[in-house]
Amino acid sequence: MEPLNFPKNFLDFHRIFPSEAACLQYLEQLRWPVGFTCEKCGAVGEPYRIAPRPRLLKCRFCLHETSVTAGTVMHRTRTPLLIWFWASYLVATQTPGISALEIQKKLGIQRYETAFQLLHKLRAAMVRPARDLIGAEWPLEMDTTFLVHRLISSAVDFGNLTFQPLGFSRFSFRL
């Protein structure tokens, strides 16, 4: 598995995250890219794995238990990680966003409240504290944009807006 590759489409997502175990493995690789390290005693090495509680890893030296989801929005949740991962993907990729009702329907979540809580936590986690605020310094915000091909062969001026091609589907905008 390549942990930092973002799925390009639904099939890609399903290929990378086919199961609950794949989601767990992904989180574990993100948290301990060079192998499990005990947060209590600092020991490095393969932990004990507890079959009925697959989110828990137990240090072989001091027996300290660590949850793979500790420190994430998924900590102590009873909702399957696969649902969280799908919801995260939908929230991050749907334009112009997705409602709790849509999340509930698309992922087959029984209770609306569960979908609402899940979406609320994801949205809160997606806000960067040091985000660039739109205002005097950053007056332009753009979403999905289509430009005809011949316009990307060279820099194009539209009044006070300049499109500078950087490669396929990438532009810089200068006001």
Separation between Cα atoms, residue 78 and residue 55, nearest integer Å: 11
Half-sphere exposure in the Cβ direction for 129 (13 Å, CA):
0
* CB 144 to Zn ion: min, Å: 48
Tokens of residue 141, six digits = 């915000």
* CB 30 to Zn ion: min, Å: 20
Residues 51-110 touching Zn ion, rule: CB under 5 A, are 59, 61-62, 64
Instruction: Between 44 and 151, name the residue whose CB sits nearer to Zn ion.
Output: 44
Instruction: Between 71 and 97, name the residue whose CB sits nearer to Zn ion.
Output: 71
Separation between Cα atoms, residue 168 and residue 44, nearest integer Å: 44
Instruction: Between 41 and 125, name the residue whose CB sits nearer to Zn ion.
Output: 41
* CB 57 to Zn ion: min, Å: 10
Residue ranges in the chain assigned as alpha helix (H): 10-16, 20-31, 81-93, 100-107, 112-126
In the shown chain, the binding pattern of residues 8 to 47 toward Zn ion, with x for contact by CB under 5 A and - for none, equals: ------------------------------x-xx-x----
Burial profile 23-35: b = 16 or more Cβ within 10 angstroms, e = fewer? bbebbbeebbeee
Instruction: Between 43 and 56, name the residue whose CB sits nearer to Zn ion.
Output: 43
**173, β-bridge pairs:** 163
Instruction: Between 23 and 59, name the residue whose CB sits nearer to Zn ion.
Output: 59
Footprint of Zn ion on this chain (CB under 5 A)?
Answer: 38, 40-41, 43, 59, 61-62, 64
